[in-house]
Structure 1
Amino acid sequence: MNPLAELRYFFTALGYFTRVPVPRWVGFKPEWLNSAARYFPLVGALLGALAALVYLAALHVFPPGVAVLLSMAATLLATGAFHEDGLADCLDAFGGGYAREDVLRIMHDSRIGAFGAIGLVVALALKWQVLASLPPMRAAMLMIAGHAASRACAISYLVSLDYVRAEGKAKPVAQRMSFAALLCAFAFGLPWLFWPAWPDWRAGIATLTVLVALRYALGRYFVKRIGGYTGDCLGFAQQVFELAIYLVGLAWISF
């Protein structure tokens, strides 16, 4: 393993998924993106840490609901709403298209429709309300777990599904991921699930079980509708996984 190359892959992942400036020496080649995919969950953990810091700092001045909204705004600004755009595009496409060609055409359209707009509002509102309902430290830790583990689960589709577009922004990422790279991604993303409720490891197991079931269901749905996945599908999946982590976290302490 070349440490310099691995550092370059990390910065490539950071530059791809966020608007954070990366050092000029890193450069960029599209073929690096597939190797950089193993670091996507680590970038997610950093984004979750940003959200947690903004949230905890804002709590000194504002009530929890406002603090959560400020933390969400921080991550949306940092990522350029990268995954939320995929969520909206997929909801429009799967909700408004019937044939595979119609779904892919609508998904490629940059305009947002009723399904996408409504779904995006509901998803953001659910995140806001769930996180605002949690005890502060539990909410902060779940932000990190949610951003990291959701990205680990989303990129797992690079191992099992086919990319269905001839071209696309996600095409360089969408080469088949090796099992070793996937294990590396899981190591960066999944252990965070056991942190918020430590030492009650059962909460982490429950969350992981829900994520596995969701991954299977979403994968089957993608294959059924379009024969595989697109970059928008990965963004859609990440948002679903992140929201599921928050909901399970709230349900665990509620019941």
Structure 2
Amino acid sequence: MISRQKVQYEWQVFLLAVGFLSRIPVPADPDFSEDKLNGASRYFPLVGILVAGVSALVFVGAAALFGNQLIAVLLAMVASILLTGAFHEDGFADSCDGFGGGWTPEDVLRIMKDSRIGTYGGVGLILVLSLKAAALFAMATPAILISALFWAHIVSRWLSVSYLLDLHYVRGEGKSKPLATTMPLSHWLWSGLPILALFVFTDSPPLIPLCLALLVFRFAFAAYLRRRIGGYTGDALGAAQQVAEIIVYLVFLL
């Protein structure tokens, strides 16, 4: 039987994950520890449910109010960006700048650390947001669009934390340093439990193309990270989440 202390501990770890990935205020943990923050990554896919739920609600409300799916899609995207503080988008832009402008691992990491967005980051951010909007607007029905939101926000976060299984963190400082630990396989598998709910409550995409596309991207990007910088950074995880999110949307259109 699970003890009350264990439930309370996991609840506090979940709240840390919410606070880390979003702008949602969470109560301060009186028993905060680095171990708790290290374990927060196993709840990232669960936080994806929260982000997708807010986006879906905004989409439904905007569609009913304005009667225009494109406006509803854009407002849903705005809601998710405001909720997360553009956390993953920022990582994607920094990764574009770093990998686009840096030749050596040291150059890549130095550019990534710069808070300013360069040409590569700006162009990459425009393209990734445009792809999301176009893919969501092209969904056949609102029900499929809402299903795509949940699949994308949950699965993409599950994929992004998978890099903690076999890659090393290569930046010695920064906001992602507390999460720079290896994740046991059992924790990663448990973190994917929210995906089971998708099969029950949502329309499913073509699963074989989805699995193949995500697997190819996951291992190709891991090989790229090893070759370019020798491991992962928080920005690289954000980039992985953004690309995986788009992959899910595109597979829904097949």
Pair in the same fold by TM > 0.5: yes
Q: Which residue of 1 aligns with 2:190?
A: 184
Q: Name which of 16, 23, 29 aligns with 1:19.
A: 23
1:230–1:162: structure 2 CA closer, same or farther, 3 Å change rule? same
Task: Confirm or deny that 1:47 pairs with 2:44.
Answer: no
Does 54-63 or 151-160 show the bigger shift? 54-63
Does 229-238 or 28-37 show the bigger shift? 28-37
Q: Name which of 98, 111, 123 aligns with 1:93.
A: 98
How far apart, CA to CA, are the structure 2 residues paired with 1:193 and 1:218? 27
Task: Confirm or deny that 1:70 pairs with 2:75.
Answer: yes
**Match of 2:133, as an amino acid?**
W
**Match of 1:56, as an amino acid?**
V
String of CA shifts for 1:113-160, please: whole Å, max 9, x gaps. Answer: 001000100100110011011121100111011011000000000011
Q: Which residue of 1 aligns with 2:239?
A: 236
How far apart, CA to CA, are the structure 2 residues paired with 1:150 and 1:190? 14
1:37–1:131: structure 2 CA closer, same or farther, 3 Å change rule? same
How far apart, CA to CA, are the structure 1 residues paired with 2:156 and 2:138? 21
How far apart, CA to CA, are the structure 2 residues paired with 1:221 and 1:190? 30
Q: TM-score, normalised by structure 1?
A: 0.92
Is the Cα contact below 8 Å between 1:45 and 1:189 reproduced in 2?
no
Is the Cα contact below 8 Å between 1:148 and 1:192 reproduced in 2?
no
1:190–1:243: structure 2 CA closer, same or farther, 3 Å change rule? farther
* Off by >6 Å, runs of 4+ in structure 1: none
3-state SS in 1 of match to 2:123: helix
Q: How many residues in Structure 1 have an aligned counterpart in Structure 2?
A: 248
Q: Which residue of 2 aligns with 1:4?
A: 8
3-state SS in 2 of match to 1:75: helix
CA RMSD after TM alignment: 1.7
String of CA shifts for 1:67-103, please: whole Å, max 9, x gaps. Answer: 0010000011011000000000000111111111111
Q: Which residue of 1 aligns with 2:135?
A: 130
Q: Name which of 110, 113, 137 aligns with 2:118.
A: 113
Q: Which residue of 1 aligns with 2:41?
A: 37
3-state SS in 2 of match to 1:19: coil
String of CA shifts for 1:41-83, please: whole Å, max 9, x gaps. Answer: 0001110111111101111122010000100000110110000
Unaligned runs of 5+ in 1: none
How far apart, CA to CA, are the structure 2 residues paired with 1:36 and 1:5? 11
Unaligned runs of 5+ in 2: none
How far apart, CA to CA, are the structure 1 residues paired with 2:89 and 2:178? 20
How far apart, CA to CA, are the structure 1 residues paired with 2:36 and 2:198? 26
**Match of 1:184, as an amino acid?**
W
